[in-house]
A and B are shown apart, each in its own frame.
Chain A
Amino acid sequence: MKIVGIAGTAKNTGKTTTTMTLIETACEQGVPLAVTSIGLDGEELDQVTGLPKPRLELPAGAFLVTAEHCISGGTAELEVLKELRAQTPLGKLQLARVLQKGRVLMAGPNNQRDLNEVAQSLEGREADVLLVDGALNRMAPLAGTDLFVLATGAARSNNLAALQRETQTLVRVLKLPGLPPREKSTFSYILNNRGIKGLGTDSLLSRERVERIFSSCREVKEIFIRGVLTGEAFSRLGSMINPEGCRLIISNPINLLLGEDLKELDRAVEVWQKAGGELGVEFPLDLRAVTINPFFPDWQEKGGFYQPRYVEEEALKRYLSSLKVPVINVVREGGSRLWSTVFGEN
């Protein structure tokens, strides 16, 4: 079974539309599938903006993992097969099968460990694909998925030049190559001539932390970060040690994207690599496509509500076409292109 993570850069970037398109195509092609979400999907109106959301419809035979209180929230007839251990604000997760097609309300695992439990619960069942719909800009629970799709668009920024720069950074990081750490380690470490030394923390989140840890190091052979490395910390790291010949390995690419400033991260990557530093991840992601959505909710100060608006589709596509990954306007280009891009030979 292939697990596909569909992450977004923000609310309303098209995650659920992408997921729904994959569901429809799977149906057409007769591929048995399972679906879940790391947030809440399938509700009529957005919880924050109050604007209509795309509804989630599942075909008969599909598996679904959703929270207890969502089981009766749709029109699909479901058979609950199993209760899982994972708990959510809407109750415990349930594995169910769709008996009669219809809309579903989906609130699934909110972290990677619980997503693993979901995948395990599907073992031995008739599902070739598990689609995991993202939530908001959250990606961390999807770090262990086999195939990855990133949804972005005007809801993230309707300044297309800025959106282009940011998406380039995201793609650059999400496509970082695998780089196996020299030491098999359960903690973050520095490796230099004197040997391996624990960092004392899994994550480097701030400049200050980097300064404390690296005050007496200059020449380092390898740094392994199990947790998060923010752009700010990365930037300081690049100026404290000599990147040349140093292998910097992060557990997974998403852990590089969790800081506040993506521009700073981009500069830090640039500086590191130019100075001869190696950068890679222990568990690479297989980023298959970026899907784009021209829609954005526009806040009306006067009326105090969100107005649905759109950027020009052609312009959006043009700006993002330089990315080193297939860019798909799902609504315009249809499901088969998306399907073959996601599941085809790389």
Chain B
Amino acid sequence: MSTAGRTTEVGRTRPTGMKIATVIAGAVIFLLLAIPLAVQVITAFRGPFLPFGVSTAKWSADNFVTLWELREDFWAVLGSTAVFVGGSTIISLLLAFGLAWVTVRTDVPFRRVISVLVVVPFIIPPIVKAQAYQLMLSPESGVLNQLLRLLPGDLVIDPYSFATMTVVQSLTNVTFPFLMIVPILTSMDGSLEESARVSGASWGQTLRRVTLPMLWPGLLGVAVLTGILGLGSLEIPLLFGQEAGKNIFALKLWNLISAGAGELPQYGLAAAWGCVFLVITTIAFVIYLRATRSAERRASISGKGFRPTIMKLGAWKVPVLVAVFVFVLLTAILPMFALLWSAITPYPIAFSFEALASQTQWGAFGEVLADPEFWASLGRTLLIAGASATIACVAATVLAYGIARGRRTGWSKGMDLFASSSVAIPAVIAGFAMFLTFLVINPVIPLAGTIVALVIAYSYRVSIAYRSGYSATLQIRKELEEAALVSGASPLEGFRRVVVPLLLPTVFAVWIQMFILGTNEFTLPAFLATPESRPLSVYMYAMISPRSAQLYQPDQGAAMALIFTLLVFAIGYGLQWAVSLRAIGRARRRLTIPGLGTRATAAVPNDPPAPATRAVAAQGLEEQRELASVAE
């Protein structure tokens, strides 16, 4: 490298090649997100079918006019969606807040067990959860309704009512807000509440006047993300809502493009719907951004290792435990039981010991394992999930590093916002927009229905990796790189030997998370996959959907769901374990854990903790926080 003539910029500590890599990564992410959305908007304004290459395509606002002409339908969809998404989000949040509060801020016994029981269902594929709830709630054979019949009163839950659907949706989405609320509660400085208590406020007054006002921007952010997640997922409306839920946006969009025989699907109208909801989620995303900014301002994270104050439950311990047990029963035990029961019975029958003795058979598991299509779709699942996680992680990390370390310009700020914005795109819109895009480009680049199309579509969740990469880069203090430079390392050597090793743990963790998300993905492939490219989740749906005539095998579907779930568990925990073996070794080297004696050997006993150690500890905390906050 020449030593002269390099005077253009301030603080050149990153490799020049990094700039090119940043631009490429930025372009990849931009194309990944911008093109499908652009295609969707164009479709909304260009005709009833496809926007290009067909005779009907011309610029017009007809689709929006149609929306307005069918305004009763329009308001019905908005209303239905608002009640469904709003209701389920509120219930999810209340449950998540309650559970998080119980595990973080009270002395209830078995706190660790409870949080594991809340978190573990996160790994169950959403389509499996939907199926399990459906089985559990079946009016005749469902185990929950059977239990209710044991109670006095004539209580039977109708699985296909709107209210049931809303509650089921909320129950499937508790883990996500829980994972986000726990760090918010954990990082709250207990002394703020203690000072309110010392000032004479009761527990209730403290909660109302200090705790909740401090927490609410954070909680608002959680609510927005949970809402967008709920808006985007197709599973519950698809399985439960064919009647009561037909006006819920996700299902509406799905039905619009699944045309009946002999008619063209109304892509233009569906795209117009997509645009309407994209505007709504954009507004929600802006609210989210403001809320998180405000939450950051209020965050009282001083890094001093304070503990939140613990509320003593006393006599309330038993009721709280019972409530938690009911929650676990409803979200884990009964659904899994219903799934297992369905897998070992040839047709839907109510549980009885008699039936257990005479009617059960385990053949469905064998049939699934002997089904070549099962293995083929499993293979595709792993391939798609792995490839998309890799693309998203590499592009996002490179871009995040470039932006976090580069100069703040209008460009970089815009790109930062854009790369973070995929959380604002509901999965159904992403799936539909990608579907349209591949149809449009198919004459030139024939990818529609292929595995490549699925890989590209799955990569749209790039923001998860981007946000983690960004905060991980900020955690690597710039001096660490500068120290390499003044030690005589070239920028590239410094990057390779200092930055990469420090970023890798975060990238691995996010990769695993995205990989699991990918294996569980249903909404995107529901729009994009063909029988030749479908992943396991879609194949399984075909088995349990009565409409797929020759494939309909509910017992095999249930068996497959169980095997699927076990596989995801095995893969998820296996990968995490493999990484943690490394990470533990790394942590031993990196972290000074108070009380474990590493400090005790220090020569000068009254040294304050070294800043690097604190920063690394903070990084550990920050990583968890970030992981929790981006978990989708």
Tell me if chain B binds chain A.
Answer: no
Footprint of B on A, CB under 8 Å?
A: none
Chain B: residues with CB nearer than 8 A to chain A? Answer: none
